[in-house]
Amino acid sequence: MGRIGLILLFALSCTSCVSAATTVDSFDLKRRELEFGGFTWKVKASTDPVAPGPNRYAGTPDAIWVDERGLHLTIDQQGDEWYATEIFTKQRVGYGTYTFSVDTDASSYDPSVVAGFFTWDTAPVEFNREIDIEFAAWSDPGGTKFQYVVQPYTSPDRIEVFDPKLQGSYTTHRIVWTPQSIEFSSYHGPVDPDAPEAHMNLMHRWRFEGTPPTEGRVRFRINLWLFGGEPPTKRTEMVVTSFTFQPLER
Instruction: Say if residue 24's pLDDT is above 80.
Output: no
The verdict on residue 161 lying in a domain is yes
Residue (of 22, 78, 28) closest to 50 by Cα position: 22
Q: What is the pLDDT of residue 13?
A: 40
Residue 236 belongs to some domain of the structure: yes
Is the pLDDT confidence value at 11 over 80? no
| Residue 27 counted as domain residue | no
Nearest to 115 by CA among 211, 25, 224: 224
> Per-residue pLDDT tens for 178-226?
999 999 999 999 999 999 999 999 999 999 989 999 999 999 999 999 9
In-domain check, residue 79: yes
What is the residue range of 110's domain? 3-19+33-247
* Average pLDDT value for residue range 111-127: 97
Domain CATH number, residue 206: 2.60.120.200
How many whole angstroms separate alpha carbon 150 and alpha carbon 238? 23
Q: Is residue 232 part of a domain?
A: yes
25 domain-assigned:
no
Number of domains in the chain: 1
In a domain, 28, yes or no: no
**How much is the pLDDT for 9?**
41
| pLDDT, position 154 | 86
Task: Write down the pTM of the prediction.
Answer: 0.89
| Average pLDDT of the chain, as a whole number | 90
182 phi and psi, to 5 degrees? -130, 130
DSSP structure string for 208-235? E-SPPPP-TT-EEEEEEEEGGG---SS-
- Asked whether residue 24 is assigned to any structural domain, the reply reads no
